[in-house]
């Protein structure tokens, strides 16, 4: 077995930069059944967000330096770095101090540490005027603007102060961070969801040239701890519909979603999971791969541990993805015990092109409306929809669809 975490990150890098040879993909099988669906677009709600403003002395850093802080990558001197260190108002930001159990077998170098986890939340708001919006200074704010961002001492003003809204957790991939999901989170909030976007800072506990398998145990543990903090908070907890909580992730974030929903990492039943998760969206999920000629399955032999996942799941994949392979993803989806939907994003790389993110957003909104809002019309559309209008080519694989856990 090779250095697992390093192998996955290197494979991800090659998939993004195109350094691998082109993978042969089977021709898409036309799906004659089903209907074409119209994407929802932006929702009816104004959106507010918690603060992520960068302190002035760090605001002029270049993208590479900001990326290092967002990943939690140590400086060459060995000095620790994390996004919490560069925030202007860390006391007003959503920072959860998580004490990792003293168990080196599971959590490796993170064992016994107190790790701050920076999260930002978006929510349906009353739409204060004037709005205090903010562009995080990473790639000139191209991943979205924080709308109606709260300042120090301010509390969220919900569109309906008496309502309880479904909560969605967004989990990013390896070598990524939550800033990539700013626009994504605001779009979901505009449809009546509270959204919590974590920046895990995986590199803080990574050891060079080691397997770093502990990250697979750490991710679900940190996710559950942040969820606990949100639900226990005075500002957000009373406004969350605790019976309707979902999670969405891309790549290693998709792995995170499956693990939190009950998938035992490496078949280990001590993996932290959270039964409060009622639905999951997994885009190009990492469920293993072939490393140095050896097959590795993230959730036990043949990913059989995924039969412990009973929450509904919708999965997006592509045969052209060279980082998370369809030949691993599709059999893994068969292992799930709950309702499942599988959508092919035709000819897409691991990091989807713009139109395919649009397709993902349309399916995701439909799926969460069906399972977190109990919307019968959304469920019917989800079960009969063949593809999304606009965007790029996509198709639901009805052979993989299961509408209940008993099918």
- According to the model, what pLDDT value does residue 16 have? 44
> What is the spatial distance between Cα 35 and Cα 386, in angstroms, rounded to a whole number?
5
End-to-end CA distance of the chain: 37
pLDDT digits (tens, 9 = 90+) for 242-299: 999 999 999 999 999 999 999 999 999 999 999 999 999 999 999 999 999 999 999 9
Which position has the higher pLDDT, 8 or 121? Answer: 121
Which position has the higher pLDDT, 181 or 130? Answer: 181
- According to the model, what pLDDT value does residue 32 have? 52
pLDDT digits (tens, 9 = 90+) for 33-76: 789 999 989 999 999 999 999 999 999 999 999 999 999 999 99
| CA 95 distance to own-chain centroid | 18
Q: What is the mean pLDDT of residues 327-353?
A: 98
Three-state DSSP at 121 gives strand
Cis amide bond preceding 376, omega within 30: no
> What is the spatial distance between Cα 121 and Cα 92, in angstroms, rounded to a whole number?
12
Q: Is 231 left (phi over 0), alpha (psi -120 to 50) or beta?
A: alpha
Beta-bridge partners for 247: 169, 280
- Kindly tell me the burial class for residue 61, based on how many C-beta atoms sit within 10 Å of its own C-beta (0-12, 13-18, 19 or more): middle
Three-state DSSP at 269 gives coil
Percent of the chain surpassing pLDDT 90 = 86
- According to the model, what pLDDT value does residue 406 have? 58
- According to the model, what pLDDT value does residue 371 have? 98
Q: Is the pLDDT of residue 12 over 70?
A: no
pLDDT band at 402 (very low <50, low <70, confident <90, very high): very high
> 354-372 and 182-189 are packed helices; what angle lies between their axes, rounded to 10 degrees?
40
- According to the model, what pLDDT value does residue 13 have? 46
pLDDT band at 9 (very low <50, low <70, confident <90, very high): low
pTM: 0.94
- In 3D space, the residue among 358, 289, 392, 303 whose CA is nearest the CA of residue 20 turns out to be 289
Q: Is the pLDDT of residue 102 over 80?
A: yes
> What is the spatial distance between Cα 317 and Cα 326, in angstroms, rounded to a whole number?
6
For the chain, what is the mean pLDDT?
92
**CATH of region 58-400:** 3.40.50.1820
The number of beta carbons lying within 10 Å of the beta carbon of residue 105 is: 10
Q: What is the mean pLDDT of residues 321-348?
A: 98
Kindly state the DSSP code that residue 273 receives in the 8-state scheme: -
- Domain ranges for the chain, please list them: 58-400
Q: What angle do CA 25, 5, 183 make, to 5 degrees?
A: 70
- In 3D space, the residue among 122, 93, 252 whose CA is nearest the CA of residue 186 turns out to be 122
Q: Is the pLDDT of residue 407 over 80?
A: no
Q: What is the mean pLDDT of residues 133-154?
A: 94
pLDDT digits (tens, 9 = 90+) for 192-250: 999 999 999 999 998 876 778 999 999 999 999 999 999 999 999 999 999 999 999 99
pLDDT band at 18 (very low <50, low <70, confident <90, very high): very low
Q: Is the pLDDT of residue 28 over 70?
A: no
Lowest-confidence segment of 100-104, 123-127, 379-383, 402-406 by average pLDDT: 402-406
- In 3D space, the residue among 85, 80, 92, 10 whose CA is nearest the CA of residue 51 turns out to be 92
- According to the model, what pLDDT value does residue 20 have? 39
Q: What is the mean pLDDT of residues 97-111?
A: 96
SS (H, E, C) 312-369: CEEEEECCCCCCCCHHHHHHHHHHCCCCEEEEEECCCCCCCCHHHHHHHHHHHHHHHH
- According to the model, what pLDDT value does residue 404 have? 86
Phi, psi values for residue 24, rounded to 5°: -75, 130
> What is the spatial distance between Cα 262 and Cα 277, in angstroms, rounded to a whole number?
9
> What is the spatial distance between Cα 83 and Cα 143, in angstroms, rounded to a whole number?
17
The answer to whether 119 touches 178, Cβ cutoff 8 Å, is yes
The answer to whether 204 touches 175, Cβ cutoff 8 Å, is no
Q: Is the pLDDT of residue 80 over 50?
A: yes
- According to the model, what pLDDT value does residue 26 have? 53
- In 3D space, the residue among 124, 196, 188 whose CA is nearest the CA of residue 160 turns out to be 124
């Amino acid at each position: 077995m090779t250095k697992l975490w390093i192998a996955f990150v290197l494979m991800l890098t090659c998939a993004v930069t195109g350094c691998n040879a082109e993978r042969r993909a089977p021709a898409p099988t036309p799906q004659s059944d089903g209907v074409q669906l119209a994407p929802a677009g932006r929702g009816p709600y104004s959106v507010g967000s918690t603060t992520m403003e960068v302190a002035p002395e760090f605001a002029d850093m270049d993208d590479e330096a900001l990326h290092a802080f967002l990943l939690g990558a140590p400086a060459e001197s060995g000095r620790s770095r994390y996004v919490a260190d560069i925030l202007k108002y860390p006391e007003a930001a959503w920072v959860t101090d998580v004490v990792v159990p003293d168990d080196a077998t599971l959590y490796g170098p993170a064992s016994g540490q107190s790790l701050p986890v920076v999260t930002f939340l978006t929510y349906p708001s009353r739409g204060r005027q004037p709005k205090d919006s903010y562009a995080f200074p990473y790639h000139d704010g191209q991943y979205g603007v924080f709308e109606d961002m709260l300042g120090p001492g301010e509390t969220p003003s919900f569109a309906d102060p008496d309502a309880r809204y479904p909560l969605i957790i967004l989990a990013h991939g390896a070598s990524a961070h939550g800033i990539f999901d700013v626009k994504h989170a605001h779009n979901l909030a505009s449809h009546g969801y509270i959204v919590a976007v974590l920046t895990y800072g995986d590199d803080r506990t990574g050891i060079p040239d080691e397997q770093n398998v502990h990250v697979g145990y750490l991710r679900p543990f940190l996710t559950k701890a942040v969820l606990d903090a949100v639900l226990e908070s005075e500002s957000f907890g009373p406004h969350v519909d605790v019976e309707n909580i979902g999670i969405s992730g891309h790549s290693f974030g998709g792995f995170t979603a499956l693990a939190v929903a009950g998938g035992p990492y490496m078949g280990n039943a001590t993996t932290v999971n959270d039964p409060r998760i009622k639905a999951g969206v997994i885009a190009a999920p990492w469920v293993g791969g072939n490393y140095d000629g050896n097959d590795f399955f993230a959730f036990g032999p043949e990913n059989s541990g995924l039969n412990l996942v009973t929450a509904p799941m919708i999965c997006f994949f592509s045969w052209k993805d060279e980082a998370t392979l369809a030949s691993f993803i599709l059999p893994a989806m068969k292992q799930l015990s709950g309702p499942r939907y599988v959508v092919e994003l035709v000819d897409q790389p691991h990091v989807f092109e713009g139109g395919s993110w649009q397709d993902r957003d349309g399916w995701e909104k439909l799926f969460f409306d069906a399972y977190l809002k109990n919307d019968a019309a959304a469920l019917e559309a989800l079960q009969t929809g063949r593809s999304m209008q606009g965007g790029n080519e996509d198709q639901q694989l009805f052979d993989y669809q299961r509408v209940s856990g008993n099918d």
